[in-house]
Structure 1
Amino acid sequence: MLDSDFLLSLTLPDETATERLAGRLGALLRPGDLVALRGDLGAGKSAFSRALIRSVTTPDAEVPSPTFTLVQTYDTDVGPLWHFDLYRLSGPDEVIELGWDDARAEAVALVEWPDRLGPLLPADRVELALSFDGPTARRASLSGHGALAARLAAADWAL
């Protein structure tokens, strides 16, 4: 993980804790923000994304994984949100074709597999790294970079 101005490490014992963390983060987001989600396959990136999107739309919103469509868009309480899954991309040039410039200009971008962005990964961003910490538990490392660090540092992260 890169150096950050804000770093928080949490144990998420179950999916309910993951949903609470997603809701806390969702309440802080604004158009132009980028959330980079890191972790192995099955670590919970899609579950976290689904919970975050539901926290800024409706609790029963249909939130399909963009694994095959590569991007899903949502109208949310915080403005447009674009959910990217870049796992199947080979490099940054391919993300441009998905509407990357529009997403960055007007929306919150939620990005799984952000390493595929290469130089397109902005300095101002939130990163969430998820790892296994037992059968249902996850370890979450939340970091704020650049301009987003202060917003994250001022938030209440008690779950």
Structure 2
Amino acid sequence: MREFVTISESETRDLGRGWAEILEPADTLAIYGILGSGKTVLIQGIIQGLGVTDRVQSPSFVLIRTYAGRLPVRHVDLYRLQTDEVEGLYLEEIFDESGVMLVEWAERARYLPGLVSEVNIKYNKGEENQRRIKLEGPLAERLS
């Protein structure tokens, strides 16, 4: 397990860019955190770090966005779904082993395909911009 502290959106985005450098095909990041915790900002950094120049938006209403970078990216946002509705997305079928999957609100999925690393983001209520980001799984091991 690795823990990181960021104190601004730009630091959170930069952390994501750094992680992008060591992401490998078949990686899945299961990202947890309350609304406004910084999940999308971290993902923006990861996607930018993979060489995507398109504007990165949360797929809250379309559920899944796909980007072409150093690795193909599937950005999934499960916020609007209940756990039993997630099964209807067939995440296993849209998973691309040659790319990465980034899943916001991952707690709503019973199962995620790929080599899953978990990211937990919490912010300190006394320090509004401070985020504590815990990373566990294959990606954390590569950072060691």
**Structure 1 length-normalised TM:** 0.79
1:111 positional shift: 0.2
- 1:49 paired residue number: 43
The alignment status of 1:116 with 2:116, answered yes or no, reads no
Q: Is the 8 A contact 2:29 2:102 kept in 1?
A: yes
- Of residues 1, 8, 21, the one that matches 1:14 is 8
Provide, for residues 51-78 of structure 1, a one-character-per-residue CA deviation record: whole Å limited to 9, x for no partner: 11111124x531121010000000111x
Give percent identity, aligned residues only: 29
Q: Is the 8 A contact 1:31 1:107 kept in 2?
A: yes
- 1:130 paired residue number: 121
Residue 87 of structure 2 aligns to which amino acid in structure 1? D
Q: Is the 8 A contact 1:95 1:117 kept in 2?
A: no
Counterpart mapping for 1:79-90 below 5 A? 79-90=71-82
Provide, for residues 127-157 of structure 1, a one-character-per-residue CA deviation record: whole Å limited to 9, x for no partner: 111111221111111111xxx2xx533426x
Q: CA 1:65 to 1:74, structure 2 compared with 1: closer, same or farther past 3 Å?
A: same
Which secondary structure state, in structure 2, belongs to the residue aligned with residue 135 of structure 1?
A: coil
Residue 101 of structure 1 aligns to which amino acid in structure 2? E
Moved over 2 A (4+): 104-107, 121-124, 151-156
Q: CA 1:135 to 1:81, structure 2 compared with 1: closer, same or farther past 3 Å?
A: same
Residue 50 of structure 1 aligns to which amino acid in structure 2? Q
- 2:94 paired residue number: 102
Q: CA 1:32 to 1:123, structure 2 compared with 1: closer, same or farther past 3 Å?
A: closer
The number of equivalent residue pairs is 140
Structure 1 distance, partners of 2:134, 2:50, is 22
Residue 38 of structure 2 aligns to which amino acid in structure 1? G
- 1:142 paired residue number: 135
- 2:62 paired residue number: 69
Structure 2: gaps of 5 or more residues: none
Which secondary structure state, in structure 1, belongs to the residue aligned with residue 3 of structure 2?
A: strand
Structure 2 distance, partners of 1:61, 1:84, is 16
Aligned-CA RMSD value: 1.9
1:105 positional shift: 3.5
1:18 positional shift: 0.8
Structure 2 distance, partners of 1:41, 1:154, is 28
Q: Is the 8 A contact 2:22 2:142 kept in 1?
A: no
- 1:155 paired residue number: 143
1:14 positional shift: 1.2
Structure 1 distance, partners of 2:132, 2:14, is 14
Structure 1: gaps of 5 or more residues: 1-6
